[in-house]
Structure 1
Amino acid sequence: MNKNENTGAARPLAWTLLSLSSGVFSQAAFAEGQHTVLPEVSVVATQDTSLQGKRKLVTTDSTGLPTAVSVVTADELGTINIGRDISNMFRRVPGVVANNIDQGDTGNGFRMRGFATQGTHGADTAVYVDGVPQNMPSSQAGAGHGPAFLEWLTPDMIGQIDVIKGPVSALYGDQNRAGAVPISTQSGDVPSSIGIGFDRYNGKRATLVLSGSHAFRPGPEPIKSLFVADIYRTHSYRYDGSTDRDNFFWKLSTRIGDGVYSLRLNHYRSESTAAGYLLLSDLQSGKVDPRSTQYGLPGFGSGKRSMFALNRAPAHGEDGWYATLYGEAFERERGIATSSVQHTVGSDDRNIFGGRLANNFTFGDRAALMVGAEVRRDRGDAQRQIWVRGVPTANYINAQQLDLLTYGLFVQGQFRPVEAVKLTAGLRRDWFDYDIVNRKLPAASTDYFSGVTTPKLGAVWSVLPRLDLFANVAQGFRSPAAEQISSSGATGPLGAPGGTVYDVSPSKVKSYDVGFTATPANNLTVTAAAYYTLNEDEIVGQPDGSFKSVGDTTRKGYELEARWRPIRPVSVYASYGQIIQAEANNPLPNTGARLSVPRHQLKLGAEYRQRLQGAQLTVNADAYLTTGIPYYMGAPQTQLRFMPAYTRFDLRAVLDWKQYQLSLFAVLQPHRFSTEAAYGSAAGLLVAPQPKWQAGMAARYFF
C-alpha cells in the first residue's frame, strides 16, 4: 500500500490571523488505480517568522483581513456529524450558533456577535457560495428578510468555508453586519465514491461522487469534472416530522490561457412535514407528549432550486481578473400551523440573475488593490396566505410582486509601510432600485431607490515573531425589506383599499475589533478578539404598524480560542465566547430590551488518529454548550426569562481500510426539553423537543 503523509502546514498566522476551526482533519483520499492514501495532517497552526522572506499579501480572500477568521476545510467536514442539517458544518467555529429549526428545510439559522435571533435564519451574515450571494431578500416562506437557504449543499460539494467575524471585508455586500461566510465548492480533485448511510428515526442516505479529468489532445488543458448526487430521506423525533431531499451537483473546470474557468450546475428538491412547537410549561408538567404536533395539525414545506454559476480566476497568483455570472430559479413554500384548522402559508417564486467583475492589482510585495462591481436582479412573487383545513382562502397577510435590482462598487487595498505592519482599507457603495407591486394593498405599490456607503479600515502589527495584534473599524449594512417599504395592513383579500409607503433607509452598523494571535509553542495557538458593534438606524416596526429607521442597538463581547497538539496522535481545541451586551437601547413600549442571543458559549473537542495494521482510525469528540439566552413572555411581553441551557455531545469514529470507509456516530443532548430552536411568546417559551440521543452509521467505497 502506498502511504503518503501530508503534513501541509496551516496558513501563516503572522498575516492571515486565522482562527482555525477545529484543526485540520482528514478524510481518506484515493488515487485512481492505486491503494488507499491515508494522510496524516498536521493540526498545528504555524507562524511565518521569516522576516527576511517575502510574506504573502492577499486581497482576494479572507486571509488578508485584520480580524478573526475561522476556516473549515473539506477534510474536517468528514469528521463532523452533519446529518440532516448542513448547518452543523459550523459546530466547531468559535462564537457561532448555527442550526436548522427542525421544521423541514426552512433555512439555516446562523448567529454570531449578538446578531440574528432565531427567527431570521442567517440574516445579518452575508453568505456566498463561489461568489454567488445566498441571502434571499424579502422572503415570505416563513423566514423573514435575508435568510440563507443552504440545504442544497452537501459535505461532498464543499471545498472550504471561511467565517469572517465582523463587516471588515468590502468584497461582501448586503446583510454583512455580523460578518460574511464565503464558501467555495470542490473541483475534480477528489476521489470517486459511492456510499450509503442510516440513522435513527428512519434516516436513509445514498451518495454518489464521480470525479475525473478529461483530456483532449492535441489542444487545450484537461477538463476536470465533479458530479455529486445525494438522496436523503428521514423522519424526525416528532411524530409528524419528515424530510425528503434530492441534491445534484455538477462542476466542470479547466484552464484557458491565463485564467481558470469553472461552470457549476445544481438542482435541489425537497418535501417536508413539520411538527411545530410546544409550550415548555406544558412539557414540564406532562400535559403534552414531547413527540406530539403543535395544534394537532402538521405544518408542511417544499423547495426547488435550479442554479448555474460561471467563474473565472487567474491561473497563477492573485493578480488579474475575477468574474462570476449566475442565475437561479428559486421556489419555496412553508405552511405554519396557527390553530387546529389554520395554516399561514408563505411562498417565494423568484428568478435571480447577477454577476460580479473585479481586477486585483499587486505592486511588488508592498501593496495590492482590488477594484470591482457587482449586480443582482431578483424578480418574482412573495406572499403569505391563510389556509383553512388544507384549502387556500381569499385572505392574505401580504402579497407582492417584486423586481429588486441591487448593484454596487467596491475597492479593497492593502499596504505594508514596514515589514512588521500591514494596513488595510476598503469602501463599498451600494444602490437599491426596487419596483414593488402590492397586490394586497395596491395603493402601497411603489418604486424605491436608495444607496449606502460603508468604509472599512484595519491594521496588523507583528509585535514579536510569534505575536500579532490586529484592530479594525468597519461599517456594514442590511437593505430594507419590501414589507418595510410597502405596508401590508391587516389580514384581508387582494385589492383592498388603503396602504402606506414608508421612507426607510438601509440599516448600517459600525463595528470595532481588537485582538491577537499568538503561537507560544509550535504545537499551541491562542487567538482572542473583542468587539463592539453599534447600530443607530435599525429599521423597527412601530405600534401603529409602520416602519421607521429609529432603532438603536448595542452589541459587545469577546471570544477566546486555543488549539494544542500534546502528542502526535492527539489534537484538542477549546473556545469560549461571551456576549456582554446585546440589547435595544430604545425598545418600543411594552417590549423587552434584551436580544435573544446566548450570553455564554463553550466549545471543546479532541481528535485521536492512529494507524492500525494497514488501516487508519480517526475518533472525534466534541462538546457544545450555550446558556443565558433571554426571552420575554406575558402580555405585554416584558417578563424576562431565560431559556434552559443547551448541551450537545458529538462522537464520531471513522475507519479507513484500502478502498473502504466505515463511519459510526452518536449525538447526545442530555438536557430534557432543551433545544436550540425556541421562541418566546405571550404564553411562555415555545420549543421543538429533541431526542436525548441519536446514532447512525455510513459505509463508503472509493474507486
Structure 2
Amino acid sequence: MPPVNVTAQRARQERRVAPQTVPAPTSAPEATEDANQAPVASASEKNVSGEEVNARPFSRPAEALEVVPGLIITQHSGDGKANQYFLRGFNLDHGTDLAINVDGMPVNMRTHGHGQGYADLNFLIPELIGSVNIRKGPYFADEGDFSSVGAVHIGLIDTIQKSMALVTVGSFGYRRALGITSAKVGDGNLLVAGEANTYSGPWDTPDNLRKLNAVVRYTEGTAANGFSLTGMAYSNHWNSTDQIPLRAIASGQVGLYGALDPTDGGRSDRFSVSGRWAQTDKDGSSKVNFYAIKSSLDLYNNFTFFLDNPDQGDQFHQRDDRVLAGVNASHTFNTMVAGLPMQTEIGFQSRYDDIKVALSNTYQRQFLSGTRNDKVKEGSVGLFIQNTVHWTNWMRTTLGYRGDFYNTNVNSLLTPANSGNANASIGSPKFSLVVGPFAKTEFFFNAGEGFHSNDARGVTIKESPSDGSPVDASPFLVKTRGAEVGVRTRIIPGLDSSLSLFVLDSASEILFVGDAGDTEPSRPSRRYGFEWSNHYKPVSWLQIDGDLAMTHARFRGDNSAQAAAYAELAGYPAVQIGNAPGNYIPGAPNMIASAGIRLGEKTGWFGALRYRYFGPRPLTEDGAFRSPGTGLLNGQVGYRFDNGWRIQLDAYNLTDSKSDQITYAYGSLLKTDALFAQCHPVQVAPPAVCQTGVMDRVLHPVEPFAVRLTVAGQF
C-alpha cells in the first residue's frame, strides 16, 4: 500500500473433554452459547465457534474474521495479497497491531518486504476453523508483539464425523473445490484437507488467481490433555488491479474496474509444521507449542504511476523470503492462599526469523534497479507471569507482567552503511478486574501497556538508499498504553450483550516504509471510543446479531516538518491540497457497524443476510480529503438434505454498490496531468512539487453484484 502512518493470553485452553470434532460443514450451524459463555477477562473478549464463523456469507478467507465486532477486512489489490484490517480507529495496514495466530503459529511477519506485521490469511481453509478467540487491548500478559489493538487466535478442528466434498462456481470465473476427510489412526485422529481455487474477478485485467491449499493434521487426546502435529502447504499466484486516482476515472482514461499498470501482481508460497502438547491435572496445567514456517512473497505494485520514472513508470518489486521458528511454553499453578483460590501462570515465548528481503524498481516485472537488498536475522524472547485471585465468588483480579527482549543483525548488501546490530527490551504491566455476575451481568476494568516492533531495517538505517542523505533510525520497540471499562449481560434470555469504552495511546515513533525502503516520522496518537456488541437467539432456528463501534482518533502535538513541506508547495493548489499540517490520522475510521440475521435448523431450508458499514475516514492529516462510507449487503440461502448433502447460493453486494472498497489520498503523476509537462522532460516546477505529484483520492472499488453456487456432500 502507499505510505500511510500507522502505529503498531493466547486462546483460552479448550475446556472440552473430547477432541474438536465438528459435523462435516454441510450440517447446520449449532448454537454458539457454549463458546460465548466461556469465562472472559474483558467485556470485549469473545469466543466464537467455527460453526458460527462458517454460517456467515463471506467472499475471502480473511473475511471470516469479521466475526470480531468492529473489525473491517478489505482489499486494495489482487486476492493473493494480505488483506487490509481496520479496528478501533486504526488503519492496521496488513496487520500491524492486530496479532493473528493459527494453531499457535503467528501469522504476522516482522521486517516484512511489504509492511511490518504483514498478516496473510489466504492459506486458511475456513471450514477447518474450530474456534476463534478474540481479545482487544494491551491487557493480557501472554500477548506480545502486534497485539496492542487486538489479538485473534484461530483453533483448528481435529476431526469430522464424515468425509465431505464441496464444489463452488460463481460470477467472474470463481471456481473452488474442497475435500476433507478424517480417520482413526492408532490412538488418534488423522485429518486431511485439500483446496483448489481460481478467480478472475470483474477487473478489465483479470486476476487469474490460482490457489492451492493442503492440510494434514494428527491429534491424540484433547486440547487439555493431548498433542497435535499439523502440516500445511499453500501456493498462490495472481494479477492485481491496484487502486487508481479518481481523476483518471473522471476523465475516462480508465474505467472503474480498470488498471493503469496491468502487469501488477504477485506470487506467494507458505509451508509450515506446528505442534502442541498439553497436560492438565488438579494442581495445574502445562502447555507447549512449536512451529516452523517457510514463506516467500513476490509482489509487483505501481501506486504513483509516473511520479519517479516518467518513461517506464513507478512499478516496484518487493521480495520476502524467510524461514522462522518458535517455541512457546507455559505452566499454570492452581493454589489456595489464605483460603483464596489462585491461579498463577508463568510462560516463555521465543521466535527467530531468518529473512532475505529486497526492494527494486521494475518495468512490466522486469528488473531496472535495486533500492534495498538485505539479509536480516531477528530473534526475540518473551517472559510473562500473571496471577489471578478469586477474592470472592463475585470478584477476581488478574495482575500480570511481561518482559520482551529483541535482537537483530542487518546485512545491507546495497548500502553497507545501513548494516548493523541492534537490541532492545521492554516491560509491560497488566491489570484486570472482573466483578459479578449479578443477575447474569459482569463488570470489567482493564489497563495495561503493550508494544509493537518496528522493521529491523529501519532500526539500523543511517542513510537514505535513494540519495545517501542522513536518515533518523526507528526505535526497535514502541510502547502503547490502554484502558477499558465494560459490562456484559445475559439478563434477557437468549441475548448476549456487551458494551466497552476504551482509550489507547501510541508513543511517538519513526516508521520504516517498506514501499520506499526509507523511514518517515509519526507523532504520538490517542484513540478513544466504544464498542457495543449483541448476539440474540430467541429460538433454535433464529439468530440475530448487531455491532456498533465508534472511535475518535487524533495525532497529538505539532507537525512542524509538515508545515515546512506545505509551504514549499505554494502556488500549486492541486499539489498543495491535503498536505497542510493537521491532527487527523489518515485512514482512521470513526464508525464501523454490522448486523445480521440467520435462520435454519440442522436440516431443511436455511438463510442469512448480513450488512456491514465502513464509515467515512480522513485521508490526510488536514482532513482535506475524506473517503465515502461504504455499506455492503450480502445474503445466503440454501437447503440441507437428511442424507448430508447441501445446496447453497451466496450473493454478494446485493445492492450493486459502486462505492470504494478502500480509499487513500496521496500524490501521483499521470502523463495526462498538466503538471507532467512542468516536470518532464525539462523541470520548470519546484523540485518539491514534482516530487509530491498531484494530490487526489485514490480508490479500489467494491466488486459488483456476484453470486456463488455451492454443492456439498458427506460420504
Separation of aligned partners in 2, 1:358 and 1:549: 38
Letter paired with 1:368: Q
1:688 aligns to what SS in structure 2?
A: strand
Is the Cα–Cα contact under 8 Å of residues 509 and 533 in structure 1 kept in the other structure?
yes
Q: Hey, what does 2:357 align to over in structure 1? A: 382
Task: Give the SS at the match of 1:502.
Answer: coil
Partner of residue 674, structure 2: none
1:74-473 to 2 correspondences below 5 Å? 74-83=50-59, 85-117=60-92, 120-140=93-113, 142=114, 144-215=115-186, 222-240=187-205, 241-255=207-221, 259-284=225-250, 286-295=252-261, 297-314=262-279, 319-337=284-302, 338-339=304-305, 341-342=312-313, 343-363=315-335, 366-393=341-368, 395-462=369-436, 464-473=438-447
Structure 1 residue identity aligned to 2:30: V
Aligned length: 638
1:580-620: per-residue Cα shift (whole Å, max 9, x none)? Answer: 23434444524442221211112111111147xxx422211
Cα pair distance change 1:179/1:318, threshold 3 Å: farther
Q: Deviations over 1:322-360 (max 9, x none)?
A: 111211111111001253734200010111111111111
Identity among equivalent pairs (%): 17
- Using the TM superposition, give the Cα deviation of residue 412 of structure 1 relative to its aligned residue in structure 2, in angstroms: 1.9
2:588 aligned residue (594, 597, 611): 597
User: Aligned partners of 2:35, 2:102: CA distance in 1, in Å?
Assistant: 28
Distance 1:317 1:391, change over 3 A: farther
Q: 5+ unaligned residues in a row in structure 2: which ranges?
A: 1-10, 13-20, 307-311, 564-580, 668-694
Superposed, 1:570-585 pairs within 5 Å as: 570-585=542-557
Going from structure 1 to structure 2, the CA distance change for 1:351 and 1:42 (only over 3 Å counts) comes to: closer
* 3-state secondary structure, aligned to 1:174: coil
2:482 maps to which residue? 511
Deviation at 1:388, TM superposition (A): 2.3
Kindly state the Cα deviation for residue 669 of structure 1 after the two structures are TM-superposed: 6.0
Aligned to 2:508: 537
Q: Secondary structure at the match of 1:95?
A: coil
Residue aligning to 1:685: 697
Are residue 668 (structure 1) and residue 653 (structure 2) matched?
yes
Please state whether the residue corresponding to 2:89 is helix, strand or coil.
coil
Cα separation, 1, equivalents of 2:388 and 2:231: 34
Contact 1:67 1:168 in 2 (8 A): no
1:42-57 → structure 2 map (5 Å cutoff):
42=31
Mapped to 2, the partners of 1:346 and 1:548 lie a distance apart of 19
Residue of structure 2 in register with 1:624 after alignment: 612
C-alpha separation in 1, matches of 2:367 and 2:283: 54
Residues 23-51 of structure 1: CA deviation (Å, up to 9, x unaligned): xxxx99369xxxx9x66734568998xxx
Q: 1:700 to 1:545 in 2, by over 3 A?
A: closer
Aligned partners of 1:506 and 1:107: how far apart in 2? 23
- Tell me if the contact between 2:85 and 2:94 (Cα under 8 Å) persists in the aligned partners: yes
Residues 526 and 554, structure 2, Cα contact 8 Å, conserved in 1:
yes
Aligned pair partner of 1:644 in 606, 609, 628: 628
**Of 488, 513, 523, which aligns to 1:551?**
523
Matched, 1:654 2:638: yes
For 1:42 and 1:555, the matched residues in 2 are separated by 35
Cα gap change, 1:672 to 1:565, in 2 (>3 Å): closer
1:702 matched to which residue of 2? 714
Deviates more, 1:423-432 or 1:357-366: 357-366
The structure-2 alpha-carbon separation of the partners of 1:45 and 1:266, relative to structure 1 and needing over 3 Å to count, comes to: closer
Give the match for residue 479 of structure 1. 453
Q: TM-score, normalised by structure 1?
A: 0.85
- The answer (yes or no) to whether the contact 2:284–2:334 under 8 Å persists in 1 is yes
**8 Å contact 2:475–2:509 — kept in the other structure?**
no
Q: Deviations over 1:152-176 (max 9, x none)?
A: 1111221111121112211121111
The 1:303–1:317 alpha-carbon spacing in structure 2 relative to 1, beyond 3 Å, is farther
Q: Indicate if the aligned counterparts of 2:553 and 2:588 stay in contact, CA closer than 8 A.
A: no
Counterpart code for 1:224: N
Deviation per CA, 1:659-691, whole angstroms, max 9, x where unpaired? 211111001164754223222113211111233
Q: Secondary structure at the match of 2:490?
A: strand
Distance 2:35 2:454 in 1: 43
> Alpha-carbon deviation of 1:256?
10
SS at match of 2:391: strand
The 3-state SS of whatever aligns with 1:677 is strand
Q: Give the conservation status (yes or no) of the 8 Å contact 2:111–2:456.
A: yes
Q: Is residue 584–residue 623 contact of structure 2 (8 Å, CA) maintained in 1? A: no
The answer for the alignment partner of 1:562 in structure 2 is 534
Deviations 1:130-168 (A, max 9, x none): 22211101111x3x1111111111112211111211122
Deviation readout 1:78-113 (Å, 9 max, x if unpaired)? 222233x21211234321112233423211322211
Amino acid corresponding to residue 136 of structure 2 in structure 1: K
Which one-letter code corresponds to 2:595 in the other structure? L
Distance in 1, matches of 2:496 and 2:479, equals 34
1:29 and 2:23 correspond: yes
Question: How far 1:696 moved relative to its partner?
Answer: 0.6
Partner of 1:6: none
Separation in 1, partners of 2:558, 2:69 = 30
8 A Cα contact 1:168 1:179, kept in partner: no
State which drifts further: 593-602 or 343-352.
593-602
Cα pair distance change 1:553/1:258, threshold 3 Å: closer
TM-score (norm 2): 0.83
Mapped to 1, the partners of 2:521 and 2:425 lie a distance apart of 14
Question: CA 1:199 to 1:75, structure 2 compared with 1: closer, same or farther past 3 Å?
Answer: same
Q: Is 2:486 the counterpart of 1:502?
A: no
**Kept after mapping to 1: 8 A contact 2:282/2:334:** no
Q: Report the AA paired with residue 448 of structure 2.
A: A
In structure 1, runs of 5+ residues without a counterpart are 1-16, 19-26, 49-55, 57-62, 216-221
Structure 1 residues 486-497: aligned runs within 5 Å: 486-487=460-461, 489-490=463-464
Change (3 A) 1:154 1:566: same
Partner of 2:309: none
Name the CA distance, whole Å, in 1 between partners of 2:237 and 2:168: 20
Which letter maps to 2:589? P
Q: 1:257 to 1:389 in 2, by over 3 A?
A: closer
The 1:488–1:72 alpha-carbon spacing in structure 2 relative to 1, beyond 3 Å, is farther
Distance 1:425 1:467, change over 3 A: same
**Contact map agreement 1:426 1:457 (CA 8 A) in 2:** yes
Question: Is residue 580 of structure 2 the alignment partner of residue 607 of structure 1?
Answer: no
Contact kept? 1:44, 1:522, Cα under 8 Å: no
For 1:169 and 1:531, the matched residues in 2 are separated by 15
